[in-house]
Amino acid sequence: MPVNLRGRSFLTLKDFSTKEILYLINLSKDLKSKYRAGIKGELLSDKNVVLIFDKPSTRTRCAFEMAASQEGAYVTYLTNSQMGKKESVEDTAEVLGRYYDGIEYRGFKQSLIEDLAIHSHVPVWNGLTDEFHPTQILADLLTIQEKIFKPYENIKVVFVGDARNNMGNSWMIGCAKLGMHFVGLGPKSLWPKPSLVKQMQEIAKDTGAKIEITSNIDKAVKDADIIYTDVWVSMGEEGKYAERIKLLKPYQVNMKMLKKARNKHIRFMHCLPSFHNLKTEVGRQIYKKFGLKELEVTDEVFRSHHSIVFDEAENRLHTIKAVMVATIGNI
Ligand code: CP
Ligand code: NVA
């Protein structure tokens, strides 16, 4: 059966089969080649999309806008909407579904985006919630294919730090679906929900994936192909810096950790934005209060030849385009 994602929402990778995820990665590759060849597309012409952001963004917003524009869609950027404040999610969804062919949402609760999808009757795309960040994983999986010349099934990914955040959860799902070896590494209080781990371990039985959660750095990073980290305090959790720094300082990604992998081709990945120097306002405030110049990753690792963080960022454009084209496009 050929893959057909027309009319589907993209809320979490849990909802997609291995074949469907690979289809989206391959479509991203084709769209990237087309873009690089300078071909202006029409795969989204006559389509209207609305991008709702209840949390800040650089990459996700710009990638959605550019991807839509490059394939001919009209975009409304919506922030500070009435939704959930003076109007129910259900009512807003009903209205937006009558104007638009697709809705992107970045915000807090996963249950909100699920309601949006139910009541708008058009595809809804998750641009990040507290629980999941699925478009980021697609970009990361494409980047891995371009940078690590091994099949997914032979790749070991170690997600270090706040292993229960949207990125940790989404990575675990992506690895389970693609038969990869996933290790969630961090302090026990920041491990993913046991129910999600169990669910992914069940999927792993079919795909050949291996899903492990541990606090043991040496064991986790040995033979890793990728060390991935994310901020220690996610959007919406501001105020938790003291607690997280105490818990996560031993899990900072530095050269010493990379060396423990004993793989000279080890790659460092991060969804960005990142605190790896003092060139941000928040970074400087943290330095003043806690005396740390770098948080989840050292500047040395971030800038090293191991780091492929900007390649990931670039691929957000092509993978987000693939999600829109596959679900509402003229294909
Ligand atoms: N990685 C990512 O989602 O970046 P933004 O927060 O800038 O969108
Ligand atoms: N975990 C981070 C991801 C940012 C792209 C956050 O939610 O803030």
Cα distance between residue 11 and residue 174, in whole Å = 13
Please tell me the residue having the least CA distance from ligand 1 atom 6.
Answer: 57
Classified as helix, coil or strand, 266 is coil
pLDDT of amino acid 331: 86
In this structure, are 111 and 33 located in the same domain? yes
Q: Where are the beta strands (DSSP E) in the chain?
A: 48-53, 74-78, 102-106, 124-126, 156-160, 181-185, 210-214, 226-229, 267-270
Question: What does the pLDDT look like over 174-217, one tens digit per residue?
Answer: 999 999 999 999 999 999 999 999 999 999 999 999 999 999 99
pTM of the model: 0.98
At 237-280, the pLDDT tens digits run 999 999 999 999 999 999 999 999 999 999 999 999 999 999 99
Contact (CB, 8 A) for 40 and 70:
yes
Expressed as residue numbers, the domain containing 324 is 13-132+315-328
Tokens 């690895």 -> residue: 175
Domain for residue 142, yes or no? no
Examine the domain organization and report whether 197 and 276 are in the same domain. Answer: yes
The arrangement of strands across the sheet holding 48-53 comes to 74-78, 48-53, 102-106, 124-126
**pLDDT one-digit tens code per residue, 11-57:** 999 999 999 999 999 999 999 999 999 998 999 999 999 999 999 99
Together in a domain, 128 and 159: no
Looking at residue 17, which CATH number applies to its domain? 3.40.50.1370
Tell me the two tokens of residue 134.
């699925």
Tens of pLDDT, residue by residue over 311-324, are 999 999 999 999 99
Three-state DSSP class for residue 216 = coil
Three-state DSSP at 83 gives: strand
Using CB distances shorter than 6 Å, the residues near ligand 1 are: 57-60, 128, 136, 271-272
271: left (phi over 0), alpha (psi -120 to 50) or beta: alpha
Do residue 58 and residue 37 come from a single domain?
yes
7 in a structural domain: no
Beta bridge partners of 125: 10, 104
CA atoms within 13 Å, Cβ hemisphere of 125: 30
Q: Do 295 and 256 share a domain, yes or no?
A: yes
DSSP letters, 120-153, are H-S-EEES--SS--HHHHHHHHHHHHHH--S-GG
Q: Give the pLDDT confidence of 141-153 residue by residue, as tens digits.
A: 999 999 999 999 9
Bridge partners of 158? 183, 227
- pLDDT of residue 77 exceeding 90: yes
- Ligand 2 neighbours, Cβ below 6 Å, are 128, 133, 165-167, 230-231, 234-235, 271
Residues 92 and 182 reside in one and the same domain = no
C-alpha 72 – ligand 2 centre gap (Å): 29
Residues 272 and 154 in one domain: yes
- In angstroms, what is the span from residue 88 Cα to ligand 2's centroid? 26
Average model confidence (pLDDT) across the chain: 98
275 occurs within a structural domain:
yes
Q: Closest ligand 1 atom to the C-alpha of 63?
A: 8
Query: Which residues form the catalytic set?
Result: 106, 133, 136, 230, 271, 316
**Percentage of residues in the chain with pLDDT exceeding 90?**
99
Question: What local confidence, expressed as pLDDT, does residue 40 receive?
Answer: 84
Domain tally, the chain: 2
Structure confidence by residue, pLDDT tens digits, 280-293: 999 999 999 999 99
- Residue 304, C-beta contacts closer than 8 angstroms, at least 6 positions apart: 255, 258, 268
Residue at 252 is within a domain:
yes
